[in-house]
A and B are shown apart, each in its own frame.
Chain A
């Protein structure tokens, strides 16, 4: 370089001419600019991608908070002939065909978007007989029943089949008569059935009726098809139940055919046990609306466990049978929903969820969900009383019909009614439970299952796991860090640090597998040994130090030189551990009647083989390196002049450690603990493998838990994308993300401040 600048003649011959130089320069600057842009773009987009993660998690959670959207599509006069009154209206799952039942005994299939009649079916009702009552069954059965004036009833349901003429999907409606097209006799005396109710169960159909002359009837009809002849034979049992001392207005039968609820005109609900159809017994009577008002409407929820009561005062409440300690069931008020402005006229349950719709006499409709205790939407659709309002099977459409027989058709988006702050974080009274509780049970084999989405057991489980892990890891990691940063000889430190760093890199799946398959069975049969190690190890170490201290002064340094105590202790610790394990049977027999596990169980302590103690040790193992290396760094970097000053003033090394070093390094140790805690909170595989993953709410060290992270790992693959369960799992992920991110950020800030402090000292 220097030669070329000095030798001008040479330079002149080598140097390119002006133009080339300018071109090269331009090219170089262009490259520089391009590189700047490339790096800038790349860098910003990578960082953007990381930020995107947070935004994406958030965007998956947000839709749960969005209120339902309901848009009116069309309205038209009810399809069919004028003067007929609607008893029932519905739409099938593809929303291509609607279905209407009228009091003239006519069934209409129509196009829900225009009201155009596709098909009209006239029911086989004898001349002179009138329809006097109507009811519908559990929504999935699509069952309708008409009570007639001659003491008979007619059951039918709308059915749809998909056909593909020319490859285009078409919905073909039809009507099915499960008990035949002719009405079947309910009252042998032939009195009009002024109130009716029906349900389909495993043992046929139960039909309840109240006659105009004041008798309550219950009939079970079972249809059996002879598989050779195809002939259907009906068997009919039951008869008159009683002459009630009240006036029924609605009858509800459960799908297990066990319960019959009768609502009366004074606002009371009467319960009958109908396990034996021929001899039903009345068990209780409960007032379900406030004094002086009557029942406006009554309906089951999906699964026929809960009864929704709509009062004439607009009240909406949920009731079901709760068992008490003596196993006696009592009809209990579970929760009240937001009132309707006027008397409730109709309640219809949703098809696949524990939600329902209500309508009132002022033309309002509302959507509610029972588990989450939410009243999601309320709006006025008409200035007339609404006769009937119903959700589409997939909850994406809504039909109403009012007193003037105007049908209104709405589009609906109500994807996540199950989620609410209360459902996620408070005690919820689930169907069939004795009291409100925190439960996580997201799915089950049956359709009518009530999903239980309480995040409390999972959060507590997470904290429990992290707590036991920290209990195990903190003393070991911090004490170890103090020793290796301050006392250990550099040579030994040169081995210890990398060894523990490698420990950090060990896959957690290996820790989990060892914990679950090796450590958990070992602990189960060696409980006394494990506890004696945990409790006596410090005593043993202190004893050794005393023994060492008792040695003559000039021997001490030779037996164990300063800084090599840890190495000297290793054989003793191993020996002590071995002795404890060998002594295990002796301890078992001496103190625990031969088996400590059984001994614990006898004393009422539940013992799971894979429990919090196992997780604590395994996860402690995983967080020790994290805590150790950060704490060690903080202690090691305490400026030397501080410690030297302290020692020079006559403090012992231990005094220097506790009063100077630890005090100065305490923020660093604190941040080490925080980061370790963050890691314990998010750890998945260890918890998955070393616990039974049952979501329990307790802090018993001998029981397992289910953590947020393990729960995601277990349930995410099965969760339907976009569903409430899926989004709640994302919420769990978001909670984990925010929690660990916040913990780490605080810890990092503390560390940075500490670094600055050290630099200024």
Chain B
């Protein structure tokens, strides 16, 4: 349905929208452009366009070690967050237990809480129990903080789910375990993939929690952080440009999946609205 007459559109709204888009994309454009700039970062106009920074990047061992560490952390975080987030969503939708309201708030808290608070409180926990900081402690931090994403996504999916299917499965003699794997999980495929993509990306990019839980091995954002403090080179632009391209691929992939799926889920909106206590 047309909501307004197109001719009644105030032109300042269009200009404002264009300006906001320019503001949002300016740093990204600068980033990509200057990854090809032979003269280093900054300086206008850019000259001596070159691929040198990409060559430097591909020969840079520590960066690739950090990329591998980040991939490991992100994958492990997806497993933990889904492993606990999916049952948590089922519990919130289907079970009554004492402390449920507190549980719901606690699960969602890390997404809205500044990362420093979650990071430091976990640091104190590991310190009290004498656990050495390593990639594993980062995995625990990311996995725990991102349960919130899995729970909100899957909870939204559950509310659209037709319970009759599960009921039929149970009536026809399947046990809960079989019903879970053959009915519940296939029906939640889309929210689970959406959650996994979002958790993966958030973990790859996470720095505030990792900042306090880092051991000897750096994740990519912390490696970049260390280099930024020493001085800036277009090599950082080059690695960021590559990550940006991968993020774009993930978005396109997710978008196509959603278009194919019956019910389009607005992953980001659901997370954002759930944060405000909208869940359950």
Whether A associates with B in a native complex is no
Residues of B within 8 A of A (CB): none
Residues of A within 8 A of B (CB): none
